[in-house]
């Protein structure tokens, strides 16, 4: 079972993705987490991507695609996975489809979480105080929202066209959002 989470920064993808992974018993593949981890560990990949992360710009497609490709080859992904933060561009979406097709797999469901921009900004500013994420500054937040609108939002139409897409209101408490998610991705209704 392969699920893709789409949604702007601050919408709560990470929180909801972790919960859904537990329910579906699949690994959580967050490219943001993987890249931050590499940066924290000071690996060559981490040094290469640090500037992109801090500025709220997308890491080049070929770099992220290769990170995901290696991760998908790990044995725990054999039963599926939840992709959180990937794909983020049309090139990445195409690469993902090719990677999966090569193994005889395909995406089972795409979940788009939505929220008004003012609420996204206020959530990210709150997170900035809590988690001290280097990319949760007002300028970078705005850039990440712009990047989402320009480069990632076009994926919504692609996944709507092949009926994979379900759109979920990201407003309210985490429990309320999760209830909406499970209503459209019940264990029995995916795959």
Q: Which residues sit at the interface with ligand ADP, rule CB under 6 A?
A: 9, 31-32, 35, 52-53, 56-59, 64, 85-86, 88, 92, 135, 144
127 part of the active site: yes
User: 19, 57, 71, 127: which one is catalytic?
Assistant: 127
CB nearer ligand ADP, residue 16 or residue 31: 31
Strand-pair partners of 169: 114
- Return the number of the residue (138 or 191) whose C-beta is nearest ligand ADP: 138
Q: Which of 116, 70, 63 is nearest to 91 (CA)?
A: 63
Least separation in angstroms between residue 122's CB and ligand ADP is: 14
Which tokens go with 168? 């979920």
Whether 13 is catalytic: yes
Specify whether 187 is catalytic: no
Q: Classify residue 10 as left (phi > 0), alpha (psi -120 to 50) or beta.
A: left
Nearer to ligand ADP, 4 or 26 (CB): 4
The burial of 12, by beta-carbon neighbours within 10 Å (0-12 exposed, 13-18 middle, 19 or more buried), is given as buried
Query: Is 109 an annotated catalytic residue?
Result: no
In 3D space, the residue among 86, 92, 84, 83 whose CA is nearest the CA of residue 61 turns out to be 92
Q: Is 133 tagged catalytic?
A: yes
**Active site members:** 13, 88, 127, 133, 144
């Amino acid at each position: 079972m392969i699920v893709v989470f789409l949604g702007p920064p601050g919408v709560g993808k990470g929180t909801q993705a972790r919960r859904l992974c537990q329910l579906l018993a699949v690994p959580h593949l967050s490219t943001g987490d993987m890249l931050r981890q590499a940066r924290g560990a000071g690996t060559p990949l981490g040094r290469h991507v640090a500037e992109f992360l801090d500025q709220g710009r997308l890491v080049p497609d070929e770099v992220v695609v290769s990170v995901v490709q290696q991760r998908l080859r790990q044995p725990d992904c054999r039963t599926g996975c939840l992709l959180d933060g990937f794909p983020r561009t049309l090139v990445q979406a195409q690469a993902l489809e090719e990677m999966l097709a090569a193994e005889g797999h395909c995406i089972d469901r795409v979940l788009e979480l939505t929220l008004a921009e003012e609420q996204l900004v206020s959530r990210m500013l709150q997170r900035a105080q809590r988690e001290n994420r280097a990319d949760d500054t007002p300028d970078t937040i705005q850039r990440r929202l712009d990047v989402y609108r320009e480069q990632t939002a076009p994926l919504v139409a692609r996944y709507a066209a092949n009926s994979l897409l379900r759109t979920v209101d990201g407003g309210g408490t985490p429990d309320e959002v999760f209830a909406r998610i499970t209503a459209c991705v019940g264990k029995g209704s995916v795959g």
